[in-house]
Structure 1
Amino acid sequence: MRSPSQQMTPPHRGQLALPWLLLALDGLLVVGFAALGNRSHETGIGLGDVLGTAAPFLLGLLISSLAVRFWRAPSRLWPDAVVVILGTVVLGMAGRVLTGGGGAECSFVLVALGVLGALLTGRRVLTRLIGRLGTGR
């Protein structure tokens, strides 16, 4: 039997919400990537245009995040971030092609991999650093 000091305390509401907030932040980064792409290619920067471009990548982000059970460690770099980045790009490109939303040229795949990789990895590094600062480690 565990002593009172060893019993696990249930997480409070903020701890439960944090992974979902970080997933939403990842989603905003994906939308930002789509907005930059639309702007540079002059394909429309209206909200509908940007969301139309971002949608397959957002779906890829959601599927790959659920696959790694992001809520357990939303800022883990290995292997979670790698799976999420690759899943976001691969599923996003597949979604673009399957829905007729655009192609998946090699140059675009490499740019998406580089930019989304930097954005999604950067978010994880920053939130890990902030978490360590907050706990005094």
Structure 2
Amino acid sequence: MTSYSSNKTHAIYAGIADAVLILLFAALGRSAHEHSETFFGIVATAWPFLLGAVLAWVVLGIWKKPLRIWSNGLFLVVITVAVGMVLRVLTGAGTAVAFIIVALVSLAVFLLGHRAIALLILRLRGRSNR
């Protein structure tokens, strides 16, 4: 497999994982606050963060190095949360300080964590192929 096709595979994986984990973040939050857990309810909660993540992917060019934790992953988290919170303010949704902290920590664990796990798996695979 060439570097380009491997990078493309990693970008597809990271993009899907980012979206799924942002949806999971929204679902867990809705569940914790005893809101309905319908698909549309989850999407209604997640869309500002999903849009923030898409913006981060475009601005940072994350598809070029989708598993990079330092810079790409870290700035992805910051931009995702910042844009998500701004959009929540603009749409009249809540942005309490506690929610901002929970969103920042949760999305950092999710978005950086899956990258760290993927990198570990790739390293372990590389060692077993030697």
| Separation in 1, partners of 2:55, 2:123 | 28
Structure-1 residue corresponding to 2:70: 78
SS in 1 for 2:4: coil
* Residue in 1 that maps onto 2:110: 119
Please tell me whether the aligned partners of residues 27 and 42 of structure 2 are also in contact (alpha carbons under 8 angstroms). Answer: yes
The gaps in structure 2 that reach 5 residues or longer are: none
Change (3 A) 1:41 1:17: same
Higher helix fraction (1 or 2): 2
What is the correspondence of 1:70-109 to structure 2 with a 5 Å cutoff?
70-100=62-92, 102-109=93-100
Structure 2 partner of 1:69: 61
> 1:10, 1:126 → 2: CA distance?
20
Post-superposition CA distance 1:76-97 (Å, at most 9, x none): 1111111100001010111111
Q: Aligned residue pairs: how many? A: 127
Q: Does residue 45 of structure 2 align to residue 53 of structure 1?
A: yes
Do residues 35 (structure 1) and 27 (structure 2) align? yes
How far residue 15 of structure 1 moved from its aligned partner, in angstroms, is 4.2
User: 1:134: how far off?
Assistant: 2.0
State the match for 1:19 in structure 2: 11
Amino acid at match of 1:110: I
Q: Name the larger-Rg structure.
A: 1
Alignment RMSD (CA, Å): 1.7
Gaps of 5+ in 1: 1-8
TM-score (norm 2): 0.90
- Once the two structures are TM-superposed, the CA of residue 18 in structure 1 deviates from its matched residue by 2.8
Whether the 8 Å contact between 2:7 and 2:65 is mirrored in structure 1 is no
Quick one: structure 1 residues 53 and 66, their matched pair in 2 at CA, closer, same or farther if it must change by over 3 Å?
same
**Distance in 2 between the 1:15 and 1:78 partners?**
17
Identity %: 35
More relative contact order, 1 or 2 (CA 8 Å, 6+ apart): 2
The 1:10/1:107 distance shift into structure 2, 3 A limit, reads: closer
